[in-house]
Amino acid sequence: MTAQHPIHTVTLAFTGASGMPYGMRLLECLLQSGKTVWLLYSQAAQVVAQQEMGLNLPASAGACQTALCERFQVSDGRLRVFGKDEWFAPPASGTNPADAMIICPASMGVVAAVAHGTSDHLIERAADVALKERRPLVIVPREAPFSSLHLENLLKLSQAGAVILPPSPGFYHHPQNIGDMIDFVVARILDQLRIPHTLMKKWGEK
C-alpha cells in the first residue's frame, strides 16, 4: 500500500523487537521533514530502548513527550505521545486516522495481533484502523529467522494492503559505519511514503 495523497501526520509505533535505532532515526527524520508524529510505544519497547541505546523512554506518555520534544527541539504540537491504553487518542478511531502508520521495529507478537484483528492496546488498534481506512501501513519486522507462523502472518498483512519492509540494509552504497546502514533502512521507509530525504542517493544518481 503506497501513499496516494500528501503525508502530513504519521503514527509511529515502537514495539519490543530489536531495532530501536531504526525507530529513533525514523522519528528524527519525520520531524525534520516537517511531519506531525503521533508516537506510540509498548512497555517492552522501553526495555529495548534502554538496552540498545541507553535511552530512557519514561512510562508516562506525557513525560516521554516532553523528553523527546526537548531531544529533537520540536513543539508538543508536532510530536504527540500516547499511552497504550489511551483509547480516546486520535489514532484509535477511523474518524481521525493519521495519513500513514509505521511500526518500526515490529515484534512478531504485534504482527500476529494485527494480522488476526485482535487489538489489545493502542498500537494494534491504530494499525487495524490504518488497514480498514485504507491508509498506508508500513511494517518493519525484526526477527531472524522467520518461522512459518511469522511468514503466514506477514503474508496476511501484505494481502491486506500493508507494506512489509524488513530492516535489511544494502551494501552497494558502501556504508562506512552503523549510522549509514540505519539510514539505508530509514530511507526505504520514507520512500514508501514518498517523503523526500537526503539520507542516501537514489539508484542511478551520481
- Residue 53 grid coordinates: 541505546
Which pLDDT value is given to residue 1? 45
Per-domain residue ranges for the chain? 9-192
Question: By the 8 A CB rule, do 167 and 140 touch?
Answer: yes
**Distance (Å, rounded) from C-alpha 111 to C-alpha 26?**
19
25: Cβ contacts below 8 Å, ≥ 6 apart:
182, 183, 186
Numbered residues of the known binding site: 16-18, 42, 142, 172, 188
Reading across the β-sheet that carries 36-41, which strands appear in turn?
Answer: 79-82, 36-41, 9-14, 100-106, 137-141, 163-164
Which pLDDT value is given to residue 2? 43
**Distance (Å, rounded) from C-alpha 126 to C-alpha 3?**
17
Any idea which residue has 501484505 for its cell? 158
**Distance (Å, rounded) from C-alpha 92 to C-alpha 141?**
22
**Residue 200 Cα distances to 138, 173, 181, 203, angstroms:** 20, 8, 10, 9
Give the pTM.
Answer: 0.95
Closest among 24, 76, 32, 33 to 54, alpha carbons compared? 24
Numbered residues of the known binding site for FMN: 16-18, 42, 142
Numbered residues of the known binding site for dimethylallyl phosphate: 172, 188
pLDDT in tens, the chain (206 residues): 444 568 999 999 999 999 999 999 999 999 999 999 999 999 999 999 999 999 999 999 999 999 999 999 999 899 999 999 999 999 999 999 999 999 999 999 999 999 999 999 999 999 999 999 999 999 999 999 999 999 999 999 999 999 999 999 999 989 999 999 999 999 999 999 999 999 988 888 77
Name which CATH class applies to 9-192.
alpha beta
